[in-house]
Structure 1
């Protein structure tokens, strides 16, 4: 498994940060944090990303037990090259993150309006009474937490970073991949919640995409040149 934990950790961390900065779930966390309590948004998004990372690594870890390690290694190499070229293509062709940010804001605005319409039927006093009567665990799993969790989880499902994590876990130490992925997701989510919208306006999405593409290609070359342990 390569250089085991250290290599898996460093690759997973770098890949996660460059894949998640400026994507839809990053913007969603930033916008939700401006409208709702940050701790609930942060806990919901981080919980979803942690679950997604662990699930992806488990799939990647199990794959060599179903398919020979030689084939999983070759498929991982192709994934790295494919995602590298994909990211470079996005970096050269995308206009920027303004359209993506507007799309996420529009979806969340529509959802917020529908929720406000439903909430007008109840009184503020009833809401406060219900809040006081709820146990601590029920307060933690609030609608805001569940909203942040569901938006992030389903937004990441099938995403490029999820598939890359599966491929990385199939070829590297799964513990290192999990640790690097969770830390990378935590760094990106904390940045999004604390000031993601202003941060995204200062970071060029084109440069992030190009950097990610180069990183994937480097991983692909390294994987291509490395030997396969049966």
Structure 2
């Protein structure tokens, strides 16, 4: 479900666009880190709801939410003309370019200030190859593009349909299985985005993917509705 929901989504396009002009490994690690953290938080947030809300109510709420998502996706698929992925990609590119321009302007206004500890850090790293390797690793993980990608993906995923679905699944099913499945779905989708996101986005049929997602959500709605009835009758 996560994989179908995320193909062509905003987080997918952010990773794809940033990977075109930046190191792919850095973009992949940053995007996956943001999505993994969001997946864990969402799944365990849903799991915590079971402590305060009866299981039958949780299943019923999940069924209603999945039904709403499914119907909405099918309506969106019916109204699509095939150019949505191009428009969304241009929108994301414009948003990223605007952020870059703001950062460049702020850098020019601030000027290049000397860092008093830069030389000391350099001398310390030269004294030990282990420290030098650690510095290189931290430089990869904490580079500006890593931070930018992490923040952009995390904010784009917050309140997204896939996050709400993860919360619902975490409440109604085994939280560890939901967490693992969500992380796997995000990782595969991000991998496709980083390796050939632009080409994939230009060739996939967003209308078909959206329609498939709508049908999938409705199937989940029926399953959780049935589970809510069975749990309620047992209680």
TM-score (norm 1): 0.86
2:103 is the counterpart of 1:115: yes
Stretches of structure 1 lacking an aligned partner (at least 5 in a row): 1-14
How far, CA to CA, are the matches of 1:214 and 1:192 in structure 2?
Answer: 24
What is the CA deviation profile of residues 8-66 of structure 1, one whole-angstrom value per residue up to 9, with x for unaligned ones? xxxxxxx1001100011111100100111111111100000000000000111001101
Look at both structures and tell me which one has the larger radius of gyration over its CA atoms. Answer: 2
**In structure 1, which of residues 68, 82, 104 is the aligned counterpart of residue 92 of structure 2?**
104
**In structure 1, which of residues 12, 37, 47 is the aligned counterpart of residue 33 of structure 2?**
47
2:46 is the counterpart of 1:60: yes
Alignment of 1:1-230 (within 5 A): 15-95=1-81, 96-119=84-107, 121-122=111-112, 133=122, 135-136=135-136, 138-139=138-139, 140-226=141-227, 227-228=230-231
- Three-state SS of the structure 2 residue aligned to 1:105 is helix
Alpha-carbon offset, residue 119 of structure 1? 4.9
Stretches of structure 2 lacking an aligned partner (at least 5 in a row): 126-134
Alpha-carbon offset, residue 118 of structure 1? 4.6
Aligned to 1:10: none
- Three-state SS of the structure 1 residue aligned to 2:207 is helix
Aligned-CA RMSD value: 2.1
How far, CA to CA, are the matches of 1:40 and 1:116 in structure 2?
Answer: 21
What is the CA deviation profile of residues 54-91 of structure 1, one whole-angstrom value per residue up to 9, with x for unaligned ones? 00001110011011111111101111111111111111
- Three-state SS of the structure 2 residue aligned to 1:97 is helix
Alpha-carbon offset, residue 97 of structure 1? 1.4
How far, CA to CA, are the matches of 1:193 and 1:116 in structure 2?
Answer: 25
How far, CA to CA, are the matches of 1:77 and 1:36 in structure 2?
Answer: 41
Aligned to 1:7: none
How far, CA to CA, are the matches of 1:199 and 1:119 in structure 2?
Answer: 35
How far, CA to CA, are the matches of 2:183 and 2:19 in structure 1?
Answer: 20
How far, CA to CA, are the matches of 2:24 and 2:12 in structure 1?
Answer: 14
